[in-house]
Structure 1
Amino acid sequence: MAALASADAVTWLSICIKAMVYATTLLAAGLVLILLSVRTLPEDEDRRLRRIAVLMAIASAVFSVLRLPIRASFLMGGTWAGALDPMIFGIVLESPLGTAVALRLVGLGLILGIVSRNRFGRNSAALGTIFVAASFAMRGHALEDPRFLLGVLVTVHMLGLAFWLGAVLALLRLSWYSSPQATGAFAAEFGRKALLVVPVLVLAGVVTLLVLTGWGVALLSSAYSQFFAFKLALVAGILGFAAWNKLRLTPALHSGAPAAAAQMRVSLQIEAGLIAAVLMVTAALSTVSAP
């Protein structure tokens, strides 16, 4: 908390922009994964989610590019003049951040193929999600040794998180605009796939933490580890609501319980709020502390 309390305006702006990059990028990639893998989406909602995926990809591109001048400003001691300095901006473009943004922009461009339902569009969007996830492994902690292992772990972790965010958004929309039966069918299919995705997502995150912190040495003694512990507490809350949705609310939707749709909607809204908090904590974690 001391690190955040002493942060200047540029640092806070960097944290907020980074959180928006996470949210929009993961939603764009996650919606693609949902659209390509879940078969119980109603036709009208399928069309809307394709449009939302495109909008999220465009927003992600804008926020990702904005990170470059903010980083240049940071390198000049937090002065806004640094954001306009051609030499400093060139250094940022050649840095790992510049590489990550370039790869992400390529991936986001490929994701736009989701507007088409033909094989080329689907393959383009699928490849784009991999590029987008891999872009997060192009800088930061993933550049530590062992670099290849950390790069794979970060990419897999981001793909799993993207799938989760895409499903939450789709479920939330279905709970508002579709029948309880359609919502229940989607929730049931997502729940079955989540049984495979969640363990991989959690395992990748835990192994990454252990590698970065020396396999648990002084796990809570640093600001980084304390941030990470708070993040894990939020994730535990998300998994708790997800379990409630799967074990109680999804069967209730199938049985036509009158209050099930409203209860699912409230649960998903809380889950979405916790996910937003996780993204914000992650943005702060990677900005003001290090393993």
Structure 2
Amino acid sequence: MRLIAGLVALLSVLCFATVASAHASLVSTEPGDGSVLAQTPKTVQLRFNEAVTPAVIRLIDAAGRTRDDAAVRASDETIVITLPENLPRGTQVVSYRVISADGHPVAGSMLFSIGAVTGAAAIPTNAGSVSGLIWLARIGVYLGLFVGVGGAFFATWVGQTRSGSTAIIAATVVGLFSAAASLGLDGLDVLDLPLPDILISTPWKAALATSLGPSLLIAVAAMAAGFVAQRNRSVRVARTLSVLAIAGAGFSLAASGHAATAPPQWATRPLVFLHGVGVAFWVGALVPLVAMTWRPTPALLPVLNRFSRGAVPVVAVLLLAGLALAIAQMESFRALVETKYGIILSIKLTLVVALLGLAALNRFRLTPALAFDHLNTRPLIQSILIECMVVAGILAVVAGWRFTPPPRAAAVQPPLGLHMHTDNAMFQVLVSPAKVGSDSFVVQLMNGDASPLSAKEATLTLSLPELGIEPLERRATLGADGYWHLRDVPIPHPGRWHLRIDALVTDFQQITLEDDFDVPAR
């Protein structure tokens, strides 16, 4: 027991060593995305809503050349790119690929122009070239953790039989190979490399440096323990290893991914652990039960009764943990049908309801019928086989979450950019978050040639004519960055707001530019 406690403690340290807040999203850039500057800035700063690790940062200048003389460094939530001094005039592109705390790559780009706006160069990408393989590898890992590890636990503790051993071992082997493949493929995705580069060490090292690395290592350890437990003749050793294996399956899932890194992590990580262990217990029983019902003996009914008694509290915890995690990920009920993540969750919930219906049928009707005729197992076999197909559908659907950020992360949007200009002046305005409530504005004042415009005062005026809201005036404050800032500006209603910027250049000269922007409903 001391050995078990020590290994579980070690797995706990590995699992919870990564501290994070959410799926990363870009929240602001400096200079602003789409801004026009008179001179080359010294740096470009990308600010995210959590600490990120830069994977690939590309600077494509106005001539379409990828520059290798731009230095990159990370500081908590900010990526700082030091620019070369000899950038040509025109539109520059900064393409970024960073690693979120949940182990998934987050990619995008921002543009800024020096002197004037020109056509931006296209950015080459390998995105999507390995997505299908990543999805298949993830399903393979699930098979190893749930069918392999869960099956070993059922065989040693509940069934006390070797029925279905061949299928359990096969699932474990598939899981082990899939875990290795998943590591290399995710490394390719992180660095945006083509598939042939899986033969070099670079993508493997990159994947190990993310939270996915420890997660897959724990999964491999869990599947290896389950494999040995399934083949070991000693009941005591097999049971010990199967407990470690099923705990490792839970820790592996809790070490990485959208759900595990959702705040507050002191709650979400244990919930993912409980959910994963519950799934392994339930799914792991299906293959051995099919094998036992295929060749029924008098021992079948006691095994089914033991499993039914244990499954009730396990499934209850599984469902409650899953419900809590779904609430943590979703912004609203509408997200179930309005977002890709929500659609996947809706499909999963539908399949889970079907699975619960089959489980109830087995427990309350088909299993009691065996007390009268233990050889009439055909209806039960058919029901369990349908359960297996439903489970396969759930695993295939859930593997798609790897490519879909949850609504809680997708809700973080970059600032809304407005560009107003005349022959004599250009104003760049960033509105964040451009939603009903309290918003912030950043105003960049420029002359017609994109050189900085000095002003004594800058005033912002908002109005919503369609609802009869009269002009709301706020005076801006000049920041150390040379931009004019306004914070906590109220936007009480959705609609098409009218914005006016008045820049007092001298006591006798004022420049006024106006534009409209849309504020969506909540």
Query: Is the CA contact (8 Å cut-off) linking 1:73 and 1:83 kept in structure 2?
Result: yes
Query: Is the CA contact (8 Å cut-off) linking 2:168 and 2:287 kept in structure 1?
Result: no
The yes-or-no answer on 1:229 pairing with 2:346 is yes
The yes-or-no answer on 1:117 pairing with 2:234 is yes
The yes-or-no answer on 1:19 pairing with 2:105 is no
What secondary structure does 1:143 align onto? coil
Q: Greater Rg, structure 1 or structure 2?
A: 2
Q: Whose helix proportion is higher, 1 or 2?
A: 1
Q: Whose strand proportion is higher, 1 or 2?
A: 2
Query: Among residues 269, 273, 283, which one is paired with 1:165 in the alignment?
Result: 283
Query: Is the CA contact (8 Å cut-off) linking 1:185 and 1:254 kept in structure 2?
Result: no
What secondary structure does 1:144 align onto? coil
Query: Among residues 392, 397, 403, which one is paired with 1:276 in the alignment?
Result: 392
Equivalent residue number for residue 148 of structure 2? 28
1:50 and 1:94 map into 2 onto residues whose CA distance is: 35
- In structure 2, do the counterparts of structure 1 residues 72 and 55 end up closer, same or farther at CA, with 3 Å as the change threshold? same
1:97 and 1:123 map into 2 onto residues whose CA distance is: 26
Query: Is the CA contact (8 Å cut-off) linking 1:107 and 1:132 kept in structure 2?
Result: yes
1:98 and 1:15 map into 2 onto residues whose CA distance is: 17
1:128 and 1:24 map into 2 onto residues whose CA distance is: 11
1:26 and 1:105 map into 2 onto residues whose CA distance is: 13
Query: Is the CA contact (8 Å cut-off) linking 2:147 and 2:283 kept in structure 1?
Result: yes
1:52 and 1:81 map into 2 onto residues whose CA distance is: 32
The yes-or-no answer on 1:251 pairing with 2:368 is yes
What secondary structure does 1:187 align onto? helix
Cα deviation digits, residues 48-72 of structure 1 (max 9, x gap): 4556544433332111011012112
Query: Among residues 252, 259, 273, which one is paired with 1:135 in the alignment?
Result: 252
1:267 and 1:121 map into 2 onto residues whose CA distance is: 29
What secondary structure does 2:142 align onto? helix
RMSD (Å) for aligned C-alpha atoms? 2.3
The yes-or-no answer on 1:149 pairing with 2:267 is yes
Task: Kindly state the Cα deviation for residue 150 of structure 1 after the two structures are TM-superposed.
Answer: 1.3
1:171 and 1:121 map into 2 onto residues whose CA distance is: 19
2:169 and 2:288 map into 1 onto residues whose CA distance is: 15
How do 1:34-113 residues align onto structure 2 when only pairs under 5 Å count?
Answer: 34-38=154-158, 41=160, 46-49=161-164, 52-77=167-192, 79-113=194-228
Match for 1:195: what amino acid?
V
Equivalent residue number for residue 420 of structure 2? none
What secondary structure does 1:210 align onto? helix
Q: What TM-score does the superposition give when structure 2 sets the normalisation length? A: 0.50
Q: Which runs of 5+ in 1 are unaligned?
A: 1-6
Match for 2:137: what amino acid?
I
Task: Kindly state the Cα deviation for residue 213 of structure 1 after the two structures are TM-superposed.
Answer: 1.6
Match for 1:13: what amino acid?
L
Cα deviation digits, residues 70-118 of structure 1 (max 9, x gap): 1122234362134234333311111111111111222223334412424
Cα deviation digits, residues 262-289 of structure 1 (max 9, x gap): 1111111111100000000000123344
Equivalent residue number for residue 322 of structure 2? 205
2:272 and 2:302 map into 1 onto residues whose CA distance is: 31
Equivalent residue number for residue 3 of structure 1? none
Query: Is the CA contact (8 Å cut-off) linking 1:210 and 1:216 kept in structure 2?
Result: no
Q: How many aligned positions are there?
A: 278
Question: Percent of counterpart pairs with the same letter?
Answer: 25
Task: Kindly state the Cα deviation for residue 216 of structure 1 after the two structures are TM-superposed.
Answer: 5.1
Cα deviation digits, residues 152-209 of structure 1 (max 9, x gap): 1111111111111121112111111223x43333222211111111111111111011
Cα deviation digits, residues 10-30 of structure 1 (max 9, x gap): 211211111111012211221
The farther-off stretch of 120-129 and 65-74 is 120-129
- Taking CA–CA contacts closer than 8 Å with sequence separation of 6 or more, which of the two structures ends up with the larger relative contact order? 1
- In structure 2, do the counterparts of structure 1 residues 121 and 172 end up closer, same or farther at CA, with 3 Å as the change threshold? closer
Q: What TM-score does the superposition give when structure 1 sets the normalisation length? A: 0.87
